């Protein structure tokens, strides 16, 4: 499949997209040359007829070559699905009709038969029709079947989708359909979907994604973004051969990367499943169930903060301030007005002062918090003592110590604690794990494991 060894056969197949332009152009020109004298009722002379012969024969020859290349490509590449089926049928028809047209033209000339000459015209027209159809399905294969419809205005768009109206397309408004699917559709689906499965991977069906691709590495590990091959590929250097999307294509926007990682961290819920609120959130929500004010959201937009609702009809927000540097005044000014809505918060990389940490600790619906590399110490973390809603706390890269064990123990909802790059290591780490019964304490090694295994097997 996609991992075939380099060689002449593979090269032959992959020349298909290059070579197919010859028969397309030549055969269409042949048809124009053929019918022009009939339409204008003019005889353009012998030279013209010779040119027509040459163009037609070269067209038929290149059509046969392009079709053989196409068949080779289909057998060495990762193709399947309806688009390929029709592209192949019409592609082979182009080669077939063009060869038949040449033969009919030869016999028609020899026997000066009117019938043969008519049949010749018919096969030439059929050939041109097949070229357009093969081109249509071929384009859909290379760019994804949404390439044209998504750019077209409505009546044309539904016609291109084959009569499917937009209402059939997206009825659900769950987190997957509204936030994740559009990113995958835009950046990945053309190579990992119904029509093409590069690397044996397809994203259109949850079960197939979980089976993964040819590498055997887990594409998505629900709950663990950093162990997911999908995330590793997205973050590889753009020059890396394994980077996704490949060939130097642009990576999804930072905001979209955050959305994908958060989605996987939340257990990668699929279409129809909700990302939240967890029962815990729902409880606290009943006290504070008001959406954030538009002014507050505008301010986030202006400041370039990434945020989005946990799902369509939930006022809770996932807020990420880790992609840019913000000073403490700014953080407080932006977060204060949404203190009842922030449920997931990432302020990694920003140095936080006491006031800011206290403000964050007071948020009523806070369930996941990343304070990675915020220069927060034991004293400041003290603000979270007895916290009742935090399920996940990331303190990596901070000068914190085992002194905090009791504070952690007092956080009644805590399930996951990230503490790599802190002073809690070795024996301290073992003791902390002992003390925090029922809390997953992640210290780094287990998180890098996924990607590290990945590079070994390559
Ligand atoms: C232009 C085509 C193309 C696009 C677009 C593309 N991929 Fe790929 N992808 C490939 C090819 C080819 C392979 C197989 C070679 C390899 O493993 O690098 C592959 C392999 C993969 C694999 C490894 C599968 C396995 O386990 O073997 C993952 C994961 C992946 N892609 C994710 C993505 C994601 C996520 C996106 C969208 C952001 C994406 N790809 C977009 C072509 C593409």
Query: Positive or negative, the Cα torsion across 118, 120, 126, 129?
Result: negative
Ligand 1 centre to CA of 415 (Å) is 33
Ligand 1 centre to CA of 219 (Å) is 10
Q: How confident is the model at residue 122 (pLDDT cuts 50, 70, 90)?
A: very high
Cis? peptide before 128, omega within 30° of 0: no
> What does the block give as tokens for 90?
């019409």
Residue 103 lies in a domain: yes
Question: Is the pLDDT assigned to residue 21 strictly greater than 90?
Answer: yes
Residue 301 lies in a domain: yes
Protein residue closest via CA to atom 32 of ligand 1: 230
Confidence at residue 355, expressed as pLDDT on a 0 to 100 scale: 95
118 with 186, same domain: the answer is no
373 with 407, same domain: the answer is yes
107 with 249, same domain: the answer is no
Protein residue closest via CA to atom 2 of ligand 1: 191
Confidence at residue 282, expressed as pLDDT on a 0 to 100 scale: 44
The CATH number of the domain where 443 resides is what? 3.80.10.10
- Phi and psi at residue 254, in whole multiples of 5°? -50, -45
Q: Which residue has the higher pLDDT, 148 or 417?
A: 417
Ligand 1 centre to CA of 446 (Å) is 25
Q: How confident is the model at residue 319 (pLDDT cuts 50, 70, 90)?
A: very high
Pocket test of ligand 1: the residue of 3, 195, 213 to mutate, having most ligand atoms within 8 Å of its CB, is 213
Question: Is the pLDDT assigned to residue 171 strictly greater than 80?
Answer: no
Task: Output the CA–CA distances (angstroms, integers) from residue 394 to 34, 361, 440, in the order listed.
Answer: 73, 13, 12
105 with 180, same domain: the answer is no
114 with 249, same domain: the answer is no
352-389, pLDDT tens digit by residue? 999 999 999 999 888 899 999 999 999 999 999 999 88
Ligand 1 centre to CA of 240 (Å) is 12
What is the C-alpha to C-alpha distance for residues 378 and 392, in angstroms, rounded to an integer?
17
Q: Which residue has the higher pLDDT, 181 or 147?
A: 181
Q: How confident is the model at residue 289 (pLDDT cuts 50, 70, 90)?
A: low
Across the chain, mean pLDDT equals 83
Ligand 1 centre to CA of 2 (Å) is 10
Pocket test of ligand 1: the residue of 192, 254, 268 to mutate, having most ligand atoms within 8 Å of its CB, is 192
Pocket test of ligand 1: the residue of 4, 78, 191 to mutate, having most ligand atoms within 8 Å of its CB, is 191
Least Cα distance to 196 among 269, 147, 153 occurs for: 147
134-167, pLDDT tens digit by residue? 998 888 777 766 677 777 777 777 777 665 443 3
376 with 227, same domain: the answer is no
121 with 225, same domain: the answer is no
What are the residues whose beta carbons fall under 8 Å from the beta carbon of 448, sequence distance 6 or more? Answer: 226
> What does the block give as tokens for 205?
């069906």
Least Cα distance to 44 among 36, 53, 55 occurs for: 36
Confidence at residue 154, expressed as pLDDT on a 0 to 100 scale: 75
Arithmetic mean of pLDDT, 45-73: 94
430 with 319, same domain: the answer is yes
Ligand 1 centre to CA of 251 (Å) is 12
Arithmetic mean of pLDDT, 264-284: 60
Confidence at residue 312, expressed as pLDDT on a 0 to 100 scale: 58
Q: Which residue has the higher pLDDT, 73 or 62?
A: 62
Q: Which residue has the higher pLDDT, 163 or 111?
A: 111
Which of 110, 127, 160 is where one domain is finished?
160
Which of 265, 296, 313 is where one domain is finished?
265
List ligand 1's pocket residues with C-beta within 6 A. Answer: 2, 187-188, 190-192, 198-199, 201, 212-215, 217, 219, 229-230, 233-234, 242, 244-246, 252
Ligand 1 centre to CA of 198 (Å) is 6
What is the C-alpha to C-alpha distance for residues 379 and 357, in angstroms, rounded to an integer?
10
Least Cα distance to 395 among 415, 418, 412 occurs for: 418
Residue 417's beta-bridge partner residues?
A: 393, 441
Question: Is the pLDDT assigned to residue 262 strictly greater than 70?
Answer: yes
Q: Which residue has the higher pLDDT, 453 or 55?
A: 55
Residue 89 lies in a domain: yes
What are the residues whose beta carbons fall under 8 Å from the beta carbon of 376, sequence distance 6 or more? Answer: 352, 357, 395, 398, 400
Q: How confident is the model at residue 334 (pLDDT cuts 50, 70, 90)?
A: very high
Judge contact between 99 and 56, C-beta under 8 A.
Answer: no
Residue 287 lies in a domain: yes
363 with 214, same domain: the answer is no
Query: Positive or negative, the Cα torsion across 152, 158, 161, 164?
Result: positive
Confidence at residue 377, expressed as pLDDT on a 0 to 100 scale: 94
Protein residue closest via CA to atom 43 of ligand 1: 191
Which of 237, 265, 293 is where one domain is finished?
265
Residue 271 lies in a domain: no
152 with 176, same domain: the answer is no
Q: How confident is the model at residue 277 (pLDDT cuts 50, 70, 90)?
A: very low
Protein residue closest via CA to atom 11 of ligand 1: 198
What are the residues whose beta carbons fall under 8 Å from the beta carbon of 248, sequence distance 6 or more? Answer: 238, 239
Give the residue numbers spanning the domain of 351: 279-457
Pocket test of ligand 1: the residue of 73, 197, 201, 257 to mutate, having most ligand atoms within 8 Å of its CB, is 201
Residue 289 lies in a domain: yes
Cis? peptide before 178, omega within 30° of 0: no
- Element housing 441 (H / E): strand 440-442
Ligand 1 centre to CA of 239 (Å) is 14
Least Cα distance to 313 among 274, 286, 352, 345 occurs for: 274
Number of domains in the chain: 3
- Predicted TM-score of the model (pTM): 0.46
**Which atom from ligand 1 is nearest to the alpha carbon of 252?**
38
114 with 13, same domain: the answer is yes
283 with 259, same domain: the answer is no
């Amino acid at each position: 499949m996609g991992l075939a060894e380099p060689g002449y056969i593979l090269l032959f197949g992959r020349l298909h997209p290059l070579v197919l332009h010859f028969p397309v152009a030549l055969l269409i020109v042949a048809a124009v040359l053929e019918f022009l004298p009939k339409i204008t009722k003019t005889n353009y002379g012998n030279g013209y007829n010779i040119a027509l012969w040459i163009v037609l024969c070269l067209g038929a020859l290149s059509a046969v070559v392009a079709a053989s290349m196409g068949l080779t490509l289909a057998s060495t590449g990762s193709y399947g699905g309806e688009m390929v089926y029709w592209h192949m049928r019409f592609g082979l028809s182009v080669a077939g009709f063009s060869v038949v047209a040449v033969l009919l033209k030869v016999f028609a000339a020899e026997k000066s038969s009117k019938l043969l000459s008519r049949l010749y015209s018919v096969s030439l027209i059929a050939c041109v029709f097949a070229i357009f159809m093969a081109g249509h399905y071929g384009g859909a294969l290379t760019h994804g079947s949404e390439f044209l419809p998504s750019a077209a205005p409505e009546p044309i768009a539904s016609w291109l989708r084959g009569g499917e109206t937009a209402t059939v397309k997206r009825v659900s408004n769950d987190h997957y359909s509204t936030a994740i699917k559009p990113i995958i559709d835009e950046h990945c689906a053309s190579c990992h979907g119904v029509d093409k499965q590069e690397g044996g991977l397809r994203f259109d069906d949850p079960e197939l994604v979980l089976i993964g691709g040819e590498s055997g590495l887990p594409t998505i590990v629900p709950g663990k973004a950093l162990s997911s091959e999908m995330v590793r590929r997205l973050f590889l250097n753009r020059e890396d051969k394994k980077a996704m999307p490949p060939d130097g294509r642009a990576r999804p926007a930072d905001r979209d990367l955050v959305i994908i990682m958060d989605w996987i961290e939340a257990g990668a819920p699929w279409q129809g499943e909700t990302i939240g609120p967890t029962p815990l959130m729902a409880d606290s929500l009943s006290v504070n169930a008001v959406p954030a004010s538009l002014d507050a959201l505008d301010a986030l937009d202006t400041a370039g903060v990434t945020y989005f609702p946990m799902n369509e009809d939930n006022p809770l927000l996932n807020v990420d301030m880790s992609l840019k540097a913000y000073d403490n005044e700014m953080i407080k000014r932006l977060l204060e007005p949404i203190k009842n809505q922030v449920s997931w918060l990432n302020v990694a990389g920003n140095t936080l002062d006491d006031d800011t940490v206290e403000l964050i600790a007071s948020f009523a619906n806070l369930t996941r918090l990343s304070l990675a590399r915020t220069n927060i110490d034991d004293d400041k973390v003290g603000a979270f003592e007895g916290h009742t809603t935090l399920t996940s706390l990331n303190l990596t890269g901070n000068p914190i110590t085992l002194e905090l064990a009791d504070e952690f123990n007092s956080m009644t909802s805590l399930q996951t604690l990230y503490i790599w790059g802190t002073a809690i290591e070795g024996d301290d780490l073992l003791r902390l794990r002992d003390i925090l019964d029922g809390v997953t304490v992640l210290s780094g090694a287990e998180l890098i494991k996924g990607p590290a295994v990945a590079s070994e097997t390559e």
